[in-house]
A and B are shown apart, each in its own frame.
Chain A
Amino acid sequence: MAEGDVEWELSKENIQPLRRGRDISALHQALSLQQEASNSTVCQHRQAFEAELRVNDGEDPLDVWDRYIKWTVQTFPQGGKESNISVLLERAITRFAEEKKYYNDSRYLDIWLKFAEHCPDPLDIFRYMQSKGIGVLLSAFYIAWSEEYERMGNYKKADCMYQEGFKCGAEPREKLMQFHRSLQARVSRHVMSAIADQDSSEEDDAMEIEEPQRITLGELKTRGKKKAVAPINRTGNRVIKNPRGLQMNAPLGPVQNSCLMVFDENKASFVPQEPKPESWMALPSSRAKENEQRPDKWTNIKMPQKSRFGQVIRAPPSRPNFQPFVEECDLPPTMTPCKINPSVNLVLSARKLCREETPLKRLQSHQQQQRDEGRAPEQSMYCKELLFSGATEFCFEELRAERFRQKYRNREGSDS
């Protein structure tokens, strides 16, 4: 057990915290497995879950999904791409999107809340859920929503959520009240400290600063020929305290010339606009993909000059100084630089611009497909739903092997 503690200590940063805490034995096992880089047991376990998803169609299909997701979260503490967790959550949500009986099931709500955590804009998700009626009778929904507002600093709205919860009669009521009380305590603490800060900042000019303050937020220096400098407006304690050498005439208050109206709950004069509740066509986007660029104007891009012969000239990559060793074999790897022949635009034509693959669009197209089923020009003559109903795909043989295994187990059970 001592070794396990060491592993946990060393990997603390890589472990995503769970609300309910992590099972310590599962955590140790997961970490040690990763260190050995052997994932065959994990692989088998996952395959077993995937098979169960497809074969088990009893009274409660949500149960399999619930266990699968919980196992994934425990087994992959980093929660990265390997765990496939975001795909899994999305599939689970889509699978039961139309099943009203699960809308106020705490397990289903749990899945939605985990999904919201993976989204760039959880508030969108919460609003969608409210419009659909998912989780509106459960306290956990309002608590999570309120916490999101609190994280953004919007205490008023955070409090509103609890009122909403009481109004809707969310269960369990005591839990809602308890969390509400702790929110109120936090808000009052925050208000007190804010007032204290404001009081102390007025005295700052006269105060002597004991230690030399390092200018952590100094001006940005330009590099190279570009002279454009971004305007800097720093707020916060550091600058307000007037570091030595940098005299400011007036304490910086709320920024005057910014376009954003920063909400100040003390003034309570301005409320950030809440989007009107409209009917939701589909889910908002979830996947926070890093490399996705929003399509925008292409400024300062010059097209390469075309030569007389119509070919695009590209400088060949520089040759290495040494002679790379090329082994003679039947299948030599191609190392020549790739020249893009403009008449063969296979690479460019395969990609469609502005096609953001968001779960919003996916759910929309999924629903559209279901409506269009009868009108499709092509029909797949195989059990598509079964093959693709889990997080990863299955082939016919895997389905059949699972059926064989089930039959075998039943036979064994009946024999013994």
Chain B
Amino acid sequence: MSLFGTSSSFGTGGTGVFGSTTTDSHNPMKDVEVTSPPDDSISCLAFSPPSLPGNFLIGGSWANDVRCWEVQDNGQTVPKAQQMHTGPVLDVCWSDDGSKVFTASCDKTAKMWDLNSNQAMQIAQHDGPIRTIHWIKAPNYSCVMTGSWDKTLKFWDTRSPNPMMSLQMPERCYCADVVYPMAVVATAERGLIVYQLENQPSEFRRIDSPLKHQHRCVAIFKDKQNKPTGFALGSIEGRVAIHYINPPNPAKDNFTFKCHRSNGTNTTTPQDIYAVNAIAFHPVHGTLATVGSDGRFSFWDKDARTKLKTSEQLDQPITACCFNHNGNIFAYSSSYDWSKVERKGPALEPRPPPQASHGAVHAGAGTGCRFQAWSRPICVI
């Protein structure tokens, strides 16, 4: 049964008809599919924080909705609830106590979704689509940080319609991450700004981009004392940069590595380069996972500078990923990411038209994850 409405018949029921007839490229890792996935590409995933017992997964999609599933210990996913926006949802995050979910959308608003009462109310307003949303919990304040394409970064106390603070950025916000007391925002035109959040948010430093291409995703990592010490930045041309804020030896400690490219060793055919769509760090081991438009995900060890594992290639790009709070579960979504678009007459059409979009939860042996799940909605763009 599906709590999400009956927009697609395939969405109802367990693993669906496709489970038996699927070719390997759809779910080559044999991960568990999440039931009742969204009808369109999934833009973001977020697992619940440790303060909430159990594992709950939130996914926002281009079908204007945000869905919540409970991921049980035996691997089954149970759809729980859903909220709608009037535009595609670009980012989601949880509050630290696990009672609220914040969603940011192209309709220039952000909403706070109270899971207990299943009510959502608007808490933020921008002049342009809101691209990122994060919850900040400081000792003396807590707020929601929203980054938008209107070149501003705003901080909202959820009780007031006006922002607590608004910071101007040089360009549109493309991605951001927050680990108190540090926040990193990557903007258009290869801008990179680090903010410090103690007392009140302020710009800490603008960094020259370590990458030559457009920034796509960013994730902060912590040191052995569990303090944020640097970030990983991914670009649209198959490269990730590891950058420390105050390294003892910047030339040696900061580095970039290539990823999500095909024909690695084959030099005769041109190498295909794909975009890195998301980066996530394992909360316990500190290893990082990257997912790309080539339809693969990979795990890396940044300290040993090695690749740990790469998945098989899925038939569609992987658009988002996240770890749960103890790192046992790795969730990734397989859906069209519009990296290949072609003009056909007066409109933009994706090339080729996708058949389905999936959300998958995966656990691989050897990296400390334990669980796999899959989901399989039909999507028509």
Residues of A within 8 A of B (CB): 40, 43-44, 47, 54-58, 329-334, 344, 346, 376-383, 386-387, 392-393, 395-404, 406
A331 touches B204 (CB 8 A): yes
List the B side residues contacting A331 at CB < 8 Å.
Answer: 181-182, 194, 196, 204, 245-246
**B348 in complex: contacting residue of A55, A380, A392, A393, CB < 8 Å:** A55
B237 close to A (CB within 8 Å)? yes
List the B side residues contacting A396 at CB < 8 Å.
Answer: 236, 275, 337-339, 341
B253 close to A (CB within 8 Å)? no
**A57 in complex: contacting residue of B87, B128, B346, CB < 8 Å:** B346
Q: How far, in whole Å, are A386 and B245 apart by their CA atoms in the complex?
A: 34
**A43 in complex: contacting residue of B127, B189, B196, B339, CB < 8 Å:** B127
Q: How far, in whole Å, are A375 and B208 apart by their CA atoms in the complex?
A: 31
Given contacts A44-B150, A55-B348, A58-B346, contact A381 B128 (CB under 8 A): no
A392 touches B189 (CB 8 A): yes
- CB B347 to nearest CB in A, in angstroms, measures 7
A333 touches B271 (CB 8 A): no
Which 8 pairs from chain A and chain B are nearest by CB?
A382-B339, A379-B270, A383-B341, A400-B338, A40-B127, A57-B343, A396-B338, A344-B251
List the B side residues contacting A40 at CB < 8 Å.
Answer: 127, 150, 152
B37 close to A (CB within 8 Å)? no
Residues of B within 8 A of A (CB): 43, 62, 87-88, 90, 106, 127-129, 131, 149-152, 172, 174, 181-182, 188-189, 194, 196, 198, 204-205, 214, 216, 227, 236-237, 245-246, 251, 267, 270-275, 293-294, 337-343, 345-348
List the A side residues contacting B227 at CB < 8 Å.
Answer: 330
**A379 in complex: contacting residue of B152, B271, B348, CB < 8 Å:** B271
List the B side residues contacting A381 at CB < 8 Å.
Answer: 272-275, 293-294, 339-340
Q: How far, in whole Å, are A58 and B345 apart by their CA atoms in the complex?
A: 7
List the B side residues contacting A400 at CB < 8 Å.
Answer: 62, 88, 338
List the B side residues contacting A382 at CB < 8 Å.
Answer: 236, 274-275, 293, 339-340
Summed over the interface, the residue pairs from A and B with CB atoms below 8 Å come to a total of 120
**A383 in complex: contacting residue of B174, B196, B274, B339, CB < 8 Å:** B339
List the B side residues contacting A406 at CB < 8 Å.
Answer: 347
- CB A88 to nearest CB in B, in angstroms, measures 15
A330 touches B198 (CB 8 A): yes
Q: How far, in whole Å, are A329 and B204 apart by their CA atoms in the complex?
A: 11
Q: For residue A403, which residue of chain B has the nearest CB?
A: B348
Known: A330-B196, A392-B188. 8 other contacts (CB 8 A): A57-B345, A331-B196, A346-B251, A383-B339, A387-B214, A395-B174, A396-B275, A404-B62
8 cross-chain CB contacts under 8 A = A331-B181, A331-B194, A331-B196, A381-B274, A381-B294, A382-B340, A383-B339, A392-B188
Q: How far, in whole Å, are A401 and B172 apart by their CA atoms in the complex?
A: 14
List the B side residues contacting A377 at CB < 8 Å.
Answer: 267, 270-271
Q: How far, in whole Å, are A58 and B347 apart by their CA atoms in the complex?
A: 9
B348 touches A395 (CB 8 A): no
Q: For residue A408, which residue of chain B has the nearest CB?
A: B87
List the B side residues contacting A330 at CB < 8 Å.
Answer: 181-182, 196, 198, 227
List the A side residues contacting B216 at CB < 8 Å.
Answer: 395
List the B side residues contacting A397 at CB < 8 Å.
Answer: 43, 90, 131, 338
Q: How far, in whole Å, are A344 and B247 apart by their CA atoms in the complex?
A: 15
B188 touches A395 (CB 8 A): yes
Q: How far, in whole Å, are A209 and B289 apart by their CA atoms in the complex?
A: 87
**B341 in complex: contacting residue of A376, A386, A392, A401, CB < 8 Å:** A386
Q: How far, in whole Å, are A333 and B196 apart by their CA atoms in the complex?
A: 11
Q: For residue B175, which residue of chain A has the nearest CB?
A: A395
Q: How far, in whole Å, are A395 and B194 apart by their CA atoms in the complex?
A: 21
A383 touches B88 (CB 8 A): no
A393 touches B127 (CB 8 A): no
- CB A391 to nearest CB in B, in angstroms, measures 11
List the B side residues contacting A57 at CB < 8 Å.
Answer: 343, 345-346
Q: For residue A41, which residue of chain B has the nearest CB?
A: B127
- CB A407 to nearest CB in B, in angstroms, measures 9
Given contacts A395-B188, A400-B62, A403-B348, contact A383 B342 (CB under 8 A): yes
Q: For residue B260, which residue of chain A has the nearest CB?
A: A381
Q: How far, in whole Å, are A396 and B189 apart by their CA atoms in the complex?
A: 14
Given contacts A43-B127, A397-B90, contact A329 B348 (CB under 8 A): no
List the B side residues contacting A379 at CB < 8 Å.
Answer: 270-273
Q: For residue A407, which residue of chain B has the nearest CB?
A: B347
List the A side residues contacting B272 at CB < 8 Å.
Answer: 378-379, 381
Q: How far, in whole Å, are A333 and B207 apart by their CA atoms in the complex?
A: 13
B88 touches A404 (CB 8 A): yes
A329 touches B270 (CB 8 A): no
Q: How far, in whole Å, are A381 and B194 apart by their CA atoms in the complex?
A: 30
Q: How far, in whole Å, are A387 and B174 apart by their CA atoms in the complex?
A: 14
A47 touches B128 (CB 8 A): yes
- CB A382 to nearest CB in B, in angstroms, measures 4
B214 touches A404 (CB 8 A): no
Q: For residue B131, which residue of chain A has the nearest CB?
A: A397
A393 touches B251 (CB 8 A): no
- CB A273 to nearest CB in B, in angstroms, measures 43
Q: How far, in whole Å, are A334 and B250 apart by their CA atoms in the complex?
A: 13
**B198 in complex: contacting residue of A58, A329, A392, CB < 8 Å:** A329
- CB B125 to nearest CB in A, in angstroms, measures 12
- CB A331 to nearest CB in B, in angstroms, measures 6
Q: How far, in whole Å, are A387 and B235 apart by their CA atoms in the complex?
A: 13
Q: How far, in whole Å, are A393 and B216 apart by their CA atoms in the complex?
A: 12
Q: How far, in whole Å, are A274 and B246 apart by their CA atoms in the complex?
A: 58
